[in-house]
Amino acid sequence: MSGGAGADVSAVTVAEPTTRTRRALGWIGVAVVLLVVGGVGAALSGAGGWNQRDALDPESAGALGTRALTEILRDQGVEVVVARDRAAATRELDAGPATLVMPDAPALSDAAIEALAAGASDVVLIEPRSRMLDLLLDGAVPAGVAPAEPIEPACDLADAVRAGAVAPGVVFSRGGSAAVSECYPAGDGFGLLVATNRGDGRVAAVDGRALFTNEHLAADGNAALAVNLMGRHPLVVWYEPAVGDTDLDLADPTLGELTPPWVSPVIVLLLAAGIAAAVWRGRRFGPLVAERLPVSVRASETTEGRARLYARSRDALHAADQLRIPALGRIGRALSLGAAASAAEIADAASAVTGLDRAAVRGILIDDVPRTDAELVALHARLRHVEDAVHAAVRPERNSR
């Protein structure tokens, strides 16, 4: 029988680590699976976020991106450089003849836009607003939206003629310059304006959202028109404006700029005066010194004086409290009760130790209200009786002696 018991113990001892190991491996497996799933989800989310970047972004594969156009340009032997800050765009344009493709740039000043455009051989505005049209196309303005059906170029610009009909989207009306080619007429405007008054270069304005995004590029002659406008030079610098590129002073004035110049010195002076006043009024020249009283009063006289005041005011209850409070303290200490013990707890403990009636002890220590001097004297006597009974019950040997 003893051998069987030993075998059972050994079996349990061997099986226990195995079970724990399996449980630990199970939890480790769950953690690994969660990490893998989280990593894959994060990668997919990041990839989706990259592909769904801003509209007209040349690296976005989303419906509103223009990645398909950049790939077509590269297939045609045109180098496409995406510049996401103004310094990089300027640096690339300085390298040689290049076409600057630029959406709306509200964060740039007029001078910054003109300086950036001056460094390019050709400029293609794919999201022109009134300000950029006025700056680069001599006062041209938006003039509405064309119908959704394709429109023939109806102009002698070779790039538009080769591309054929397109649905231009937003149309524009030229300003005062006579050297502007107008193509794709619709209503009061044209879907394409090309100014050729920049020497051998030119500035084109076209609605890129309606023509050059991934979802519209394959329709009609959109792709051909984009390649004809942007592929005239071996390099295309596609500038994506960033908020950090701004050269505008957009910050709100600070509180210091809004206040008069004399306010700050006055505030400093008031603070200094306050600190000086605090030091002056709160100074100490050494430790506190006990002051001698002109008259010393004995404790017995103080007690008698208070007693006369109680007697004169006939406040028997207050006088009774002055008798009960010290008695409760002494009884509590005699019964080894803590300082936090309540009067009711002390009274119940005194009744239990002495064997006196619980209600009577409570009445003496708490409840009875004396109304006359005689009742107050009787209460004092009963308090002494309860206190003596407690001491007798707690220390019987002292009473026997």
Query: DSSP assignment of 321-387, as one string?
Result: HHHHHHHHHHHHHHTT--TT--HHHHHHHHHHHH---HHHHHIIIII----SHHHHHHHHHHHHHHH
State the pLDDT confidence band at 152, using cuts at 50, 70 and 90. Answer: very high
Average pLDDT over residues 311-337: 82
User: Beta strand pairing status for 180-186 and 201-206?
Assistant: unpaired
Residue labelled with tokens 């099986």: 15
Structure token digits, residue 387: 């206190």
- Residue 50 pLDDT more than 60? no
pTM of the model: 0.51
Q: What is the pLDDT of residue 206?
A: 92
pLDDT at position 6: 42
Pairing of strands 122-125, 99-102: parallel
> Contact, 223 vs 162, CB < 8 A?
no
Q: What integer is the mean pLDDT of 244-265?
A: 72
Give 6-19 pLDDT, tens digit per residue.
444 444 344 445 66
Q: Is the pLDDT of residue 285 over 50?
A: yes
> How does DSSP assign 138-193, residue by residue?
TS-EEEEE--SS-B---S--HHHHHH--B---EEEE--S-S-EEEEEEETTEEEEE
pLDDT recorded at residue 9: 40
* Of 2-16, 24-38, 189-203, 323-337, the least confident: 2-16
Q: Kindly report, residue by residue over 111-122, the tens digit of the pLDDT.
A: 888 888 888 889
Q: How far from 89 is each of 107, 128, 190, 193, CA to CA, in Å? A: 15, 18, 29, 24
Of 3-17, 119-133, 278-292, the poorest mean pLDDT is in: 3-17
Collect all residues with Cβ–Cβ distance below 8 Å to 337 and sequence separation of at least 6.
Answer: 345, 346, 349
Q: Can you give the pLDDT at residue 322?
A: 81
Q: Tell me which residue of 54, 65, 61, 73 sits closest to 229, measured CA to CA.
A: 73
pLDDT of residue 162: 92
CA distance 227 to 153: 16
Q: Model confidence over 98-111: pLDDT tens digits?
A: 999 998 888 888 88
